[in-house]
Every structure is written in C-alpha cells, then in structure tokens.
Amino acid sequence: MAPRRRLSASSAPATRALYHIAQVAFAYGIFLWLVYGLRVGNWLFIVANLATLPFMLVIICMKPQFGQSLLTH
C-alpha cells in the first residue's frame, strides 16, 4: 500500500486567513447577542455571552502569537 500524504485544511494559507476571519465574525456575533440581551434585559443571554466572549477574545489574540505550535506539541 502506498504511503498517504496527510492533508489538513488548516495548512493551506487561504484557509488560515479564513479561519481568523471566521473567529472574528463569531466573536462579533457573540458581542451582538450580548447587546441584544442587554437591550431586552434577558439575563440568560447576558450571562452566556459574557462567559463566552472573553474566551473568544483570548483565542483571537493568542492565535497569531502561537499559531499551530500549541497543537503540535
């Protein structure tokens, strides 16, 4: 059987750029849901999005600094 080359979608440069854009878009969506929760006074939306948004922002800030090195070790 011939050796197979492992293909990874995250290894393509265009895919890496889209991955970052998708993370930013997801964080923006979380922010909008937080604003909506504040406007309607729904504490469940507020708490859920306040818990999620900081983690997404940390991921967005750390990904360019560390890249794939955290996943390969």
Q: What is the pLDDT of residues 44-65, one digit of tens each?
A: 999 999 999 999 999 999 888 8
User: Is the pTM above the cut of 0.75?
Assistant: no
CB–CB of 29/48 below 8 Å? no
Average pLDDT of 9-28?
Answer: 80
Answer yes or no: is pLDDT of 18 > 70: yes
Tokens of 51: 């818990």
